Amino acid sequence: MADFDPVTKAVVPAAGLGTRFLPATKATPKEMLPIVDKPAIQYVVEEAASAGLLDLLMVTGKNKRSIEDHFDRAFELEEVLEAKGDEHRLSQVREPASLATLHYVRQGEPKGLGHAVLCAKQHVGDHPFACLLGDDLIDRRDALLKRMIEVRDTYGGSVIALMEVPKEQVSLYGVATIEATAEDDVVKVTDLVEKPPADEAPSNWAIIGRYVIDPAVFEVLENTPPGRGGEIQLTDALRTLAGRGSEEGGPVHGVLFRGRRYDTGDKLDYLRTVVKFAADREDLAGEFVPWLREFLDEVG
């Protein structure tokens, strides 16, 4: 195995306006919308921590202060719960602050995911890093991020998570042109395109919100003009890295993910996610699933 720098840092872009969830997100960050009883962003931080990434930078924006508060201590609330002897809720309240060491930087303007990643340059420096998007939740039983770090340790460069999607959905994603490797779940990425029309997509393998990125991406992003939607696209920068050798920050590999992914990016997918998480909870499923069956029978 080649000697590549270890991945120890994670970046979580969380500066989006959440317009698809208005008016709920007028004063509440979309990342703080609950999946049952835990904000979506906490699942993402837990995933990074479980992969050993305990140095985490959150890229936020205006009106996102509640994210920082959530991952901080709440001494007054803790004192009330402690006085009541409510150890279970006390541990739940304390848990977010103990998951990782969190840092914060603001993305001053909404210039796209590539620009949000570029905001992490000073914190990340010359180190490879993971990037986790809050709209995608990966089931805790599927160690996707750990596998991506293993692939980076083997091949160097950058690694993206790819998931096969129906042809009619490829226009919603960045899509990869891929070549097989000796490993069944690993491919070499030779080209990338952001949100292509279905009849022009090079494959059905779409990028989902998990990346392990070489620090050479920062130099590329600084010289990447706005792309689709007038935004600086991370996909465009990774396309550049895919054409480079290891001495210049390339190549790019993909992990073919066939596990459980939950999308919280729009209202319908968010509702599906909440139902799936509730049905999987031991403390809720016993009552929730039978009620859900009865309800579905009622509505036909």
User: Do residues 202 and 175 touch, judged by C-beta distance below 8 A?
Assistant: yes
- DSSP sequence for 199-227: GG-S-SEEEEEEEEE-TTHHHHHHTPPP-
Q: In terms of Cα–Cα distance, which of 121, 145, 122 is closest to 46?
A: 145
Separation between Cα atoms, residue 245 and residue 251, nearest integer Å: 6
Separation between Cα atoms, residue 219 and residue 108, nearest integer Å: 20
For residue 270, give the H/E element and its range: helix 267-279
User: Do residues 160 and 203 touch, judged by C-beta distance below 8 A?
Assistant: no
pTM of the model: 0.93
Report residue 239 as tokens. Answer: 């396309």
Q: How far is CA 278 from the centre of its chain?
A: 21
Residues of the chain with pLDDT under 70: 1-2
* Residue 133 CA: distances (Å) to CA of 92, 117, 137, 279, 290: 23, 11, 8, 24, 33
Tally of CA atoms within 13 A in the half-sphere of 175 that contains its CB: 21
Tell me what pLDDT residue 246 has.
85
* Residue 76 CA: distances (Å) to CA of 83, 90, 171, 300: 11, 11, 48, 48
Rounded to 5°, the CA angle 194-200-186 comes to 60
pLDDT tens digits for range 91-114: 999 999 999 999 999 998 888 999
Tell me what pLDDT residue 110 has.
82
Tell me what pLDDT residue 2 has.
64
Name the amino acid, one letter, at 191: D
* C-alpha torsion sign, points 49, 52, 54, 59: negative
Separation between Cα atoms, residue 263 and residue 47, nearest integer Å: 15
Residues near 145 by beta carbon (within 8 Å), at least 6 away in sequence? 47, 48, 50, 51, 53, 130, 132, 138, 210, 212
